[in-house]
Structure formats: structure tokens, C-alpha cells
Amino acid sequence: MRNILILPIIALAATVGHAQSPAPPTQNQFGGSIDHTSAVGSVAPPPGWKTCPRCQNRQDRIDADKKYQVEDHAFDPHDLSGVWGFIGVGDPFRDPPPMTAWGKQQYEATIGEKNADGEPLHSKDTSGYGGGSAIVCDPHGWPRLYRSNDGGFEFIMLPDRVLQFFEVTHTWRTIWTDGRKLPDDPPEPHWLGWSVGHWEGDTFVVESNGFEERSWIYSARPDGGWIHSDEMRTIERWHRVNYGTLESQMTIIDPKTYTEPWFTPKSTVSLVPGAELWEYFCVPSDHRLFNDTVFTPVAGRDKK
């Protein structure tokens, strides 16, 4: 089990000193390729347990879809239950609207250092996705987890709320559906925001505000991060197209940072039948070892 925890550190160490652009859907968060075609490389669960989305390869998923008869399976469009996705939702946070003067100033503060070849090191992204930065395991926050759900997520439908549980960072958020309204002036900022949901036909609409502004929306190309203020509001629309497909789209409204709303393209994720989420924590003590033995020496810095 210890080896599983160390593998991300080894993979991440390979990116230090060589810039990596944000990975496309066919890569994992460390810049390595994900095996979609091979019949080898899957991780079998213990007896009596289910596999996890990132433990499967393409053949595993083909077999599971046939076993659970995903195609033409009956479904309730108002039931989003299930484990969804295994490589995120693509790259929805691209082409942001123009920034305000304040937004430009904050964005420029996220631009990191460059190596001797002039390549960006992503040294200001301490979430674990910055190949040239020390990792401090701060929360990813929302809506970054919308993009960073490489290990999949699960929707759990309850009478008065919907829970969205993420394997990456092993955390969840609560979307209240009991009729309450968003607070006009949230008493404290939340990394995942304050969230309420309602149905518009067959579309589940989630509105959130009251965000902790230290999180990034996501990393930017070629360096830095798309930032937001504590005034940001998000609107998500989730629509179960069929039993095995979930479609989503997000609107980001932050007049302090962007001059107009940011409408992301529609994204889809697939149901992962017969699967369950395993653990994927950012562990400070593990990453401290990485920071001390890999990042600091390669970056030419003294230990603090």
C-alpha cells in the first residue's frame, strides 16, 4: 500500500525542471499517459470489493458495460446516483473572458519561475499539479475539482441534499435541495462554496457562492492559474442523457475578476458501473519527502 502512495511522487518528480502544459484528457495529472487500449495494467480489487475507476483499463470498462447492460438500460433522469468518470471532464476552463484590472493583477501574481531554457515551471501551483512547485496539500476547492476529478466522483441522492464525493483529495461537497436559498452574505468563505440545487425539467441546477478566494479555478496556459475572487458565483447544469452518460456545463460569474460571465463548453462523463471510489489523498508528510529530496535540490533552493 505504501508503494501506491509513493508512485505519484515519483511520477511528479519527473516533471520538475521541465515544463508541462495542463494535461489533455488522454493524460493523467502528472503528465503521463493513461492506458485506454491495453488489456494489461488494471488493478484487481480484493475479494468482495469493487474496482475503482482509475484501476481499470479500456477492456475492463468494455466488459463492465456489457456485464451491467449499460446500453439501452432504463433510467430515471432525476436520479444522478452512480460513480462517474475516470479521466476528468476534458478541459472546460479555457478561453476565459477578459479580466478586470484587479483580475489581471491577481493572475500575474500566479506566474511562476522559468528554467534555464525559458520553460515555465508552474512553481506557484502548490496543489500537486504544479510540476515545479513545492506541494502543501491545500484544498483544490470548487470549481477546480470539476476539472480535477481524474479518479472519478460519485453522486449520492438523499431526500434533502445531494452529495458529490471525489476520489481525488477524498472529499465531498453538500448540495442542499430542501428549499433553502443561498446566503446573501455568507458568514465565512468555503473552499467548496455554499451550494443549493433544484430541478428545471430533467436538469439539475446547482448554484454556489461564498468561495475561499485562495483556490484557483484551474491552472492556466502556459503558466499561472485562472483565479477568482470571493465574489464568485457558479451555476452548474447536470443532465443525465441516458443511463450511462452525464452531461454538464458551468457558468462562472465573478465581476470583480472577469468583465463578463464565463460559460464553459458542455462536458460529458461516463458511468463506471460496478465500481466504487478508493482513496486518493494529498498527504503532507509524503509530499514533504518529495519537497526535501526532489523539489528543493532540483530547484537549487535551501531547505526551510
Percent of the chain residues topping a pLDDT of 90: 66
> Is it the case that residue 56 has pLDDT exceeding 50?
yes
Band the pLDDT of 108: cuts 50, 70, 90.
very high
The yes-or-no verdict on residue 32 having pLDDT over 70 is: no
pLDDT digits (tens, 9 = 90+) for 273-299: 999 999 999 888 887 776 677 666 665
pLDDT given at position 23: 34
Q: Which amino acid, 176? A: W
Least confident of 112-116, 204-208, 237-241: 112-116
Task: Tell me, yes or no, whether 237 lies in a domain.
Answer: yes
Phi and psi of 78, rounded to 5°? Answer: -95, 10
- Please say if the pLDDT value at position 35 is more than 60: no
Residue 300 confidence (pLDDT): 58
Split into its structural domains, the chain has a count of 1
What range does the domain containing 163 cover?
Answer: 30-119+139-282
Nearest to residue 220, comparing CAs of 209, 211, 210, 228?
Answer: 228
Q: Is residue 1 part of a domain?
A: no
Query: Does 29 have pLDDT greater than 60?
Result: no
> Cα–Cα distances in Å, from 125 out to 65, 88, 92, 122?
37, 19, 19, 6
- Does 104 map to a domain? yes
Q: Quick check: 15 pLDDT over 60?
A: no
Q: What integer is the mean pLDDT of 201-214?
A: 98
**Average pLDDT in the 37-63 region?**
85
What pLDDT digit, counting tens, does each position of 132-158 carry?
777 888 899 999 999 988 899 999 999
Per-residue pLDDT band for 9 (boundaries 50, 70, 90) equals: very low
Answer whether residue 109 is part of any domain: yes
Total residues belonging to the chain: 304
Domain assignment present for 186: yes
Question: What pLDDT, on a 0 to 100 scale, did the predictor assign at position 292?
Answer: 73
Structural domain includes residue 150 = yes
Stretch among 4-13, 92-101, 153-162, 175-184 having the lowest mean pLDDT: 4-13
Residue 188 lies in a domain: yes
pLDDT at 25 over 80: no
Residue 83 pLDDT = 98
Asked if the structure places residue 185 within a domain, the reply is yes
Alpha helices (H) in 89-220, listed in sequence order: 101-108, 144-147
Q: Which set of grid coordinates corresponds to residue 171?
A: 472529499
Higher pLDDT, 116 or 98: 98
**What's at 166, amino acid-wise?**
F
